[in-house]
Amino acid sequence: MSIVRLDGVVREVGDFVILDHVTAAIAAGDRIGIVGPNGAGKTTLLRLVSGVDEPDGGEIHRKRGLGIAMLAQEAQVDSAFIDAPSLRAAVRSGALRLESLERRLRTLEHEGRVTEPEYEAAQHEFEVKDGYSLDQRVEAALSGLGFDRIDWDRPPTNLSGGEQTRAALARLLLSDPELLLLDEPTNHLDLGALEWLEEHLGRRHGALLVASHDRAFLDATVTRVWELRDRRLTPFRGSYSAYARQREERDVRAVEEAEDRAGQIARERELIELYRHQRKHTKMHEHEARLEALQPMEKRHSDARLKLPTEALAGGAPARSYESVVRVEGLVVGYRAGTPAGEGESAPVAPNPPPTSPPPPFETPVARVPWLELRRGDRIGIVGPNGAGKTTLLRTIAGELQPLDGSLDLGRNVQLTYLAQLREAPIPGATVLDALLDEMPLTAAAARSHLARFLFRGDDVFKEVTALSGGERSRLELALLFLLPANLLLLDEPTNHLDIPAREALESFMATTDATLLVVSHDRRLLEKVCDSLWVVDDGLAVPFEAGYRAWRAAVADGWTAKAAAEREAVRLHGGRPAETGGRKTAGAIGSASRPAGAKGPGRGTQSSGSGRVSSQTGKATSAAVVVRPPIERLSKDAYRRRKIQLDEELARLNERKGLLESALNDPSVHGNFVELRRVSGDLAAVNEALAAAEEAWLEMEEAAP
């Protein structure tokens, strides 16, 4: 039996049609996911189903007395939520009927009317609705959605926007409506909260209608999919993965049918011209009718797809970095107060504070990194709960934050670029085109061609930056990211606000690029497809996990913790003793090295191309700090054999490439072509540097021989 039915629903904004004659139904217990590109009308459909908006055409029928609750992308909390004395009370108020029954039972008990039928009926309803476990369910929802116990007594007015959205979700789940509508519910949730929400929704008996770009979440929670495409709704049965397979099959058939139809149209046009020249008008009109029947009544525009460039707009492909890209030991990341914004001088540092003393008052440590290394070609995901320090660690490596202690080394020839998660800071330029031209002087044609790859076409390039949607702003940030060549990409939640096709395009690029990747993400599908290993930030520590996302979650279920992993690593590296740091050390080779001419703006395209160090605050070369190398760990025979084969192949390939380039330098045609001579010389220099790195790796391997 349907609890909601849409009959020929039309929704318009001005002259633009968002939904065109949509017909669909929701049955009791249905679990439906809504998918489609940004702007397809997913939020509009949810608002129509909830009754917040009314259709411009058609009808929406709802079951009488149907209980509906909706969570918007940015929750609009009411006065009852904001005025609650504590977070716990605000969430508990979601169970409005249970709280009303609870008050009534207390009143009847106080009046001594426990033997009356009214008390018996109220108590029965209270028990059926599981009222006696209400407080436990409130605490489970708060814990599951990432609120620490110390936060439960905070007033809601002290919460951030993201925390209020999570609290509003917890309150909504406590209300347990017959139809639950969720618009991008995975925003602001970390991995643990996502898994808790999936488990909770799996236990619900009511109907669910959810719009989301999180494919793993949809796979775990829905059994039907509504696809919004070209203003129409198409239903599919099964999870998101089943829908994706069906959609691909339909698209293939549509292409084949379109090609067949195009051939028929071409033949009909030829016959029309033939009969026109032969003055056989009857035959000509007959084929004109056939042509009109073949041509679609409305031309459907093919879906525009994000196309990430294989080379940067300026400078082409990046240089090849050395084997070790980032190496840290004993690093403490956090925030240093007392440095005015925009100034290069940092606050004074107390000389050699004892290890057991508390941190200086002007420092706020967030996480400690005993030992981590990022090697060329690695694709590593940084995971952990919200607030653990993932972004702080990434910003420190990018040079936006100065390390509080320890050693941080960037390898030679590293050209890094950084995509921040918090993108509220204004982008220079009034329009999308201005923003690109402010970053780098280009011709208008080159700038528009580059923006077209990121779906800014035609008049879209003249959109005001301040008026961009979340997805459009994310695409503009990606366009700016690809202005300069980089062999190290630091990406903080790169899929935020991107729709599913854009996420898949980004994943495809990340899986095939030669650049080294360090990615903070809660997108489990991205972590599974792209990242070979993880850095886990939790309990004030950052530790490596030498496997993918699924293996890590399985290990956590078996009791794995960051603290235990750090203790095991300390035993391996230092025999259980802390590393001899010799006091406070300077972090190295990070931050604000000079950028190519014409490039502007901090945070993108930061480069390091030598062995000298660059201060993350001043941008001036400093003396090299002494880096404590960990003791060499002996390789097993199998590991040594595999490493030796790998290095042998690498050295052979590089030597062969070097010979070809040296032969090219002796070619008179190359000497006579300045552009070709510069290219060959640059390639030869890069190969020589790579050979030096490979030989260094060979020596390290020999030192670790079994």
More confident residue, 420 or 533: 533
607, β-bridge pairs: 415
Rg, C-alpha atoms of the chain: 31
Q: What b-and-e string marks burial along 254-272, b requiring 16 or more CB atoms within 10 Å of the CB?
A: eeeeeeeeeeeeeebeebb
pLDDT, position 508: 86
Residue type, 316: G
In this predicted model, what pLDDT tens digit does every residue of 482-496 receive, in sequence order?
Answer: 888 888 999 999 988
Give the whole-angstrom CA distance, residue 523 versus residue 210: 17
Q: 414-439 burial by CB neighbour count: b if 16+ within 10 A, else e?
A: bbbbbbbeebeeebebebbbbbbbeb
The reported pLDDT for the residue numbered 474 is: 84
pLDDT band with cut points at 50, 70 and 90 for residue 467 = confident
pLDDT at site 673: 62
According to the model, what pLDDT value does residue 346 have? Answer: 34
Cα 194 from Cα 191, distance rounded (Å): 5
- Output the pLDDT for position 595: 35
pLDDT of residue 72: 84
Q: What is the mean pLDDT of residues 255-272?
A: 80
- Beta-strand runs (E) in 72-178: none
- Maximum mean pLDDT: which of 35-39, 148-152, 232-236, 312-316: 232-236
Q: Answer with the residue of higher pLDDT: 506 or 358.
A: 506
191-203 and 161-175 helices, crossing angle to 10°: 20
Residue 200 confidence (pLDDT): 92
Are the C-beta atoms of 142 and 91 separated by less than 8 Å? yes
Mean pLDDT of 340-347: 35
Highest mean pLDDT of the ranges 316-325, 340-349, 602-611: 316-325
pLDDT for 645: 83
Which helix or strand (DSSP H or E) is residue 397 part of?
A: helix 390-398
Phi-psi region of 291 (alpha: psi -120 to 50; beta: other; left: phi over 0): alpha
Burial class (CB in 10 A: 0-12, 13-18, 19+), 398: buried
Per-residue model confidence (pLDDT) at position 577:
52
Coil vs helix vs strand at 405: strand
pLDDT at 348 over 60: no
In the structure encoding, which two tokens stand for residue 554, read together?
């399985």
Q: Maximum CA pair distance of the chain?
A: 109
Phi then psi for residue 158, to 5 deg, are -90, 0
Dist CA 272 CA 279 (whole Å):
10
Looking at the chain, the whole-number percentage of residues with pLDDT higher than 90 is 27
For Cα atoms 507, 371, 415, give the angle at the middle one, nearest 5 degrees: 50
Task: Give yes or no for residue 613 having a pLDDT over 70.
Answer: no
As to burial, measured by CB atoms within 10 angstroms (0-12 exposed, 13-18 middle, 19+ buried), residue 170 is buried
**CA-angle at 524, arms to 204 and 408, nearest 5°:** 140
CA distance 64 to 47: 18
Please report, rounded to a whole number, the percentage of residues in the chain having pLDDT higher than 70. 83
Q: What is the average per-residue pLDDT within 639-663?
A: 82
DSSP state of 464: B
Q: Is the pLDDT score of 686 beyond 50? A: yes
What is the per-residue pLDDT for 632? Answer: 59
Distances 551 to 145, 526, 534, 649, 679 between C-alpha atoms, Å: 23, 15, 10, 30, 44
| pLDDT value, residue 344 | 33
CB–CB of 567/412 below 8 Å? no
Within 10 angstroms of residue 297's Cβ, the number of other Cβ atoms is: 5
Residues 646 and 686 sit within 8 Å (Cβ to Cβ): no
Using pLDDT thresholds of 50, 70 and 90, give the confidence band for residue 46.
Answer: very high
The pLDDT of 44-56, averaged and rounded, is: 92
Closest alpha carbon to 496 in 512, 473, 479: 473
CA distances from 548 to 193, 506, 551, 553 (A): 19, 19, 6, 9
> Which amino acid appears at position 704 of this protein?
A
Q: Which of 436-440, 520-524, 597-601 has the lowest mean pLDDT?
A: 597-601
* Structure confidence at residue 630 as a pLDDT band (50, 70, 90): low
pLDDT at 629 over 60: no
Q: Are 334 and 362 in contact (CB under 8 A)?
A: no
DSSP 8-state symbol, 387:
T
**For position 678, what pLDDT does the model report?**
65
C-alpha triplet 25, 27, 30: angle, nearest 5°: 105
Specify the pLDDT at position 382: 95
Q: Which residues of 504-513 are buried (b: 16+ CB within 10 A; e: fewer)?
A: bbbbebbeeb
Cα–Cα distance measured from residue 426 to residue 441, given in angstroms and rounded to the nearest whole number: 19
How far, in Å, CA of 34 to CA of 454, rounded? Answer: 24
Pairing of strands 2-13, 57-62: antiparallel
Helix ranges, 213-323 (H): 215-221, 240-277, 281-294
For residue 650, pLDDT over 90 is answered with no
Report if pTM > 0.75: no
The DSSP output letter for 155 is -
- Asked if 533 and 555 count as a contact pair (C-beta separation under 8 A), the reply is no
Instruction: Check residue 256 and give its pLDDT.
Output: 74
Calpha distance 242→224 (Å, rounded): 9
Lowest-confidence pick of 266-270, 437-441, 661-665: 661-665
Q: How confident is residue 187, by pLDDT bands cut at 50, 70 and 90?
A: confident
CA distance 622 to 428: 31
Q: What is the pLDDT of residue 362?
A: 64
- What pLDDT does 465 receive? 81
In this structure, of 227-236, 387-396, 652-661, the range with the lowest mean pLDDT score is: 652-661
pLDDT at residue number 236 = 93
Q: Which residues pair with 361 in a beta bridge?
A: none
Confidence of residue 600 (pLDDT cuts 50, 70, 90): very low
Tell me: the pLDDT tens digits for 414-451? 888 898 876 555 676 788 888 888 888 888 888 888 88
**What integer best gives the mean pLDDT of the chain?**
80
75 Cα distance to chain centroid: 21
Say what the pLDDT of residue 427 is.
73
Write out pLDDT tens, residues 371-386.
999 999 899 999 998 8
pLDDT confidence of residue 425 = 58
Q: What is the per-residue pLDDT for 585?
A: 40
Question: What is the pLDDT averaged over residues 98-109?
Answer: 89
Token representation of residue 380? 């590593």
Mean pLDDT (whole number) for 120-125: 90
Q: How far apart are CA 149 and CA 253, in angstroms?
A: 54
pLDDT score, position 423: 55
Mean pLDDT (whole number) for 557-580: 74
pLDDT at 222: 94
- pLDDT of residue 343 exceeding 80: no
